[in-house]
Structure formats: structure tokens, C-alpha cells
Amino acid sequence: MSNNNWHLYEVFIRSKNGLAHKHAGSVHAQDAETAILSARDLYTRRGEASSLWIIKSSDIIASDPGEAGELYDPSDDKIYRHSTFYTVPDGVKNM
Amino acid sequence: MYSTDLRTDKEKKSADQQILDDAELWDTFQARIDNGDTIEAKDAMPEKYRQTLTRQISQHAHSEIIGQLPEGNWVTRAPTLKRKLILLAKIQDEAGHGLYLYSAAETLGRSRDDMVADLLSGKAKYSTIFNYPTPTWADIGTIGWLVDGAAIVNQIPLCRCSYGPYARAMVRVCKEESFHQRQGYEIVTTLARGSAEQKAMAQDSLNRFWWPSLMMFGPSDSASTHSSQNMKWNIKRHSNDELRQRFIDATIPQAEFLGLTIPDPDLKWNEERGSYDHGDIDWDEFWAVIKDGGICGKDRIQARRAAAKDGVWVRAAAEAYAAKQSAKEQVA
């Protein structure tokens, strides 16, 4: 095998306009152009896509799941950010 | 099948000895699993979990890739253009399934090249079913009906397995697999309703593929030693025998509907269990196929090696093209 230096690309599919792109999986390719074609062949054989995004996996900057606790901690004690924190007097409607 | 560890005891033991895991990680990890958490690629996980899944997912991927070969045998001889197009689409799906699975396995840290190298060297295992030959067109029908049918029974629980990338690949695979099974049953139906000769061809194919299909679920629970840890980790949710029974119960009425006979004289409905009792499976045959590749093992690996060799220039051309493009971009 000679493809040690092939890039790994992550594939995102938008199934139809109005929806967000969603991660589908990955493909190996040498360049972006063939990555798009491979992604089309691999992930959209049944009309799943109206748009494809690909990005080199090495370009993704991800948070560390091990540090999720500290990273998201600041939002844990701010219950006043949720609408359910507030009481609305009986009889008040449409709020 | 795909979840069955096909390595010899010696291979398992030597792999196990290389694992060093700390007990604390095992405990916190188990707590996450028990809590119903999905494990994602970058999460901390016991080395043994990583290794088990890498082995299982790559073995599953190899099975999909090798699984193209028995069917590829009939592309040029499909009886009609419609059947040929369907068969090509199905084989392309199998290639796709292999690639989804290699992607999922890669998230665990093993490179795809290494996994493919293991397949080509004969070190990696794959499902025994694909080492049986497909001498007649009816086999293409039977494979879709029974082999893909068994695969569906096996794979549906995997859609909820604890490892996220594997579970998501399985969801995608299962969606496509239902077309495979239906097109197979349609072929068998056409033959079973055709001439006496055609019906005999369908029956002969069922006779050859019935037992190997049952073996796809792996050794009987009484002989399967590695199931319990995989159950604890939610990699596996049902025992081999449980899934096999589910497949048998679903398939027998489908055979009866076509007037075909399941080649098992001991098969009978068990009113008490609400299930069919079946005859003994020849596990010696199963282990022999794993060990020496059965009828087609050598051909299958040789076909993959030839494909890898014949594709060298394609990969080289793609690399050269990409290098040229990036050089151009740098100049501009």
C-alpha cells in the first residue's frame, strides 16, 4: 500500500436547504476535489444530500472530553439563563 | 458473526498480555456504560475496549469488502439488465459499508493502511460465509435473502452499541441492508415460481447456504467465552444463540411461503418456547473454514491482493496530480 500520506477528510451533509450540515463520516483522498467526489459516492448514493462540506480532519480543533467538566462549568450555576427560572403570575397569557 | 472473535485462543492470549489497564479507569468507564453513555472517539477508554472494538469493526469492514467477491462473480452473467444494475448497486453498497466501517475503526487510532495490510497478509479474519462459492445465479438470491437477512438481525442491535462512531455507521448500513435482503428474496421468489428446473436451483442454493448462514452468528453460547465482557460494555446486546433463533424464526415462514424446504430434518415448532427447534450445527466445519479458508479463502485474498496491486497506478496518479496542483497553487 502506498497511501500512507493520504489525507483524512471529514464529511458533512446538508440533506436539504433549511437544515444544517451534519457530520456523516470520513473519506481518504489526496486532494479536496477527489475528496468531494469520494464523499458523494460514499455518503450520497440515495439522494441524501443537497450540499456537501469536507474538511481535513487535521484542521479540526476539538475540545478535550477529559476537560469537559471545567470547560462547561461556568454555565452550570446560571439557572437564571433559563426561562423556567422566572415565575409568571397566574392569568398572564402568551408568555 | 461480525461481533464474534474469530481469533485462535493463542492469538487472543498473546494480544491480551500486551494490555495494561488501570483498574480505576475500568471502574469509571463501566459506570459511564451502565449509565447508558455513548463513548466517543476522544474519550478515555480501557485499552481492552479499544482493542476489542478495533478488532471487531475492522473484521466487520473486511467482511463487507470480501463480501463483494462472491456476488461480483455474477455481474457479467446476470440474467437481465435490470438484475445486473441491481447487483452492481448492491455490490457498491457493500464497498460503501466497508468504508464506513474502516472510518469508524480509524477513530480508535489504527490506520486504514495497517488494517488493509492485515487483510492482505491473511492475518485479519472475516466472516466465514464469504468463503463459500456461488456456482449458480440462485446463490445471488439466497445471499441477499439469507446472508443479508442474518446480517440485519446481527447489525440492528449494534446500532445501539456503546461506541458512537460504530453505532452511527451501523444505522447507515442497516438502512441500506433492507434493499439487499428484499432484492435477494425477489430473485428467489422468481425462481421458486418458475420452471421445475428453476425451483430446483433455488432449493439447491438454499441447501448449500442454510447452515453456513446459521454459522454467521458465531459459536453456540455454551462455547463462546468472550461474550460476557462485551455484553458488560454494551458492545454486544444479545447472545449468539438468541440472534440465531431470531433469524431462524423469521426465515422459516419465508421459505414455506415459497414452497422451499429448509434442509434440517430436526426442525420443528416448539409450542412451549414459541420458537423453532433446530438440528445440530457442524461447528467443525465452521472452525475448519476459519482455519484454512474453506473452498474460496485463497481466491478471496488473492482477488484483494490483485486489486491492491492493480490499483497502484491509480493511487500514484492521484498523488502526482495532487502534488502538481499544490505546486501550482504555491506559484500563484
* Residue A14 located in a structural domain: yes
A4: confidence class by pLDDT, cuts 50, 70, 90: low
Say what the pLDDT of residue A2 is: 47
> Does residue A92 lie in a domain region?
no
Percent of chain A with pLDDT over 90: 72
Given the DSSP bridges, would you call strands B275-277 and A51-56 parallel, antiparallel or unpaired?
A: unpaired
Other CB atoms within 10 A of residue B247 CB? 20
Q: How far is B125 from chain A (nearest CA, A)?
A: 19
Q: Are B93 and A45 inside 8 Å of each other by CB?
A: yes
Phi-psi bin for A91: left (phi > 0), alpha (psi -120 to 50), beta? Answer: left
B44/A65 Cβ within 8 A: yes
Q: Chain A residue closest to B40 (CA)?
A: A65
For residues B220 and B222, what is the distance between their CA atoms, to the nearest angstrom?
5
What would the grid cell of residue B288 be? 475448519
The reported pLDDT for the residue numbered B75 is 97
Q: Do A5 and B319 touch (CB under 8 A)?
A: yes
Q: Contact at 8 Å (CB) between B105 and B115?
A: yes
In B, what residues contact A, Cβ < 8 A? 40, 42-44, 89, 92-93, 96, 99-100, 103-104, 106, 111-113, 116-117, 168-169, 172, 176, 308, 312, 315-316, 318-319, 321-322, 325-326
Nearest to A42 among B96, B111, B325 (CB): B96
In the structure grid, which three cell numbers stand for residue B206, read together?
438454499
H or E stretch at A22: strand A22-29
State whether B96 and A45 contact (CB < 8 Å): yes
Q: Does A94 fall in a domain?
A: no
Please give the residue range of the domain that contains residue A74: 7-85
Q: Is A37 inside a domain boundary?
A: yes
The CA distance from B256 to A95, in Å, is 62
Q: Give the pLDDT score at B238.
A: 93
Residue A90 lies in a domain: no
CATH value at residue A72: 3.10.20.520
Cell of B1: 458473526
> Looking at residue A71, what DSSP letter applies?
H
Cell digits of residue A54: 469536507
Q: What's the average pLDDT block by block, 10 residues per block, for chain B (332 residues)?
A: 68 67 88 96 94 96 97 95 97 96 95 95 94 97 97 96 96 92 97 98 98 96 77 93 97 97 97 96 95 94 97 92 87 77
Residue A36 inside a domain? The answer is yes
Q: Per the domain annotation, does A69 fall within a domain?
A: yes
Which residues of A are less than 8 Å from B116 in CB distance? 1
Note whether B148 and B68 are within 8 A (CB): no
Q: What is the pTM of this model?
A: 0.90
Question: Which residues of chain A have a CB within 8 Å of the CB of B176?
Answer: 46
If DSSP states are collapsed to H, E and C, what string results for chain B? CCCCCCCCHHHHHHHHHCCCCCHHHHHHHHHHHHCCCCECCCCCCCHHHHHHHHHHHHHHHHHHHHCHHHHHCCHHHCCCHHHHHHHHHHHHHHHHHHHHHHHHHHCCCCCHHHHHHHHHHCCCCCCHHHHCCCCCCHHHHHHHHHHHHHHHHHHCHHHHCCEHHHHHHHHHHHHHHHHHHHHHHHHHHHHHCCCHHHHHHHHHHHHHHHHHHHHCCCCCHHHCCCHHHHHHCCCCCCCHHHHHHHHHHHHHHHHHHCCCCCCCCCCEEECCCCEEECCCCCHHHHHHHHHHCCCCHHHHHHHHHHHHHHCHHHHHHHHHHHHHHHHHHHHC
Is residue A3 scored above 90 in pLDDT?
Answer: no
Confidence of residue A1 (pLDDT cuts 50, 70, 90): very low
Cell, residue B292: 484454512
Per-residue model confidence (pLDDT) at position B2: 64
Residues of A in contact with B312 (CB under 8 A): 2
- N- to C-terminal Cα distance for chain B? 54
Handedness of CA B63, B64, B69, B74 (dihedral sign): positive
Least Cα separation, residue B242 to chain A (angstroms): 31
Residue A1 lies in a domain: no
CB–CB of A30 and B319 under 8 A? Answer: yes
CA distance B294 to B131: 6
Q: Report how far residue B165's alpha carbon sits from residue A57's, in angstroms, rounded to the nearest whole number.
A: 15
Q: What is the pLDDT of residues A48-87, one digit of tens each?
A: 999 999 999 999 999 988 888 899 988 888 999 999 999 9
pLDDT at B51: 95
**Cross-chain Cβ contact B106/A26 below 8 Å:** yes
Domain count, chain A: 1
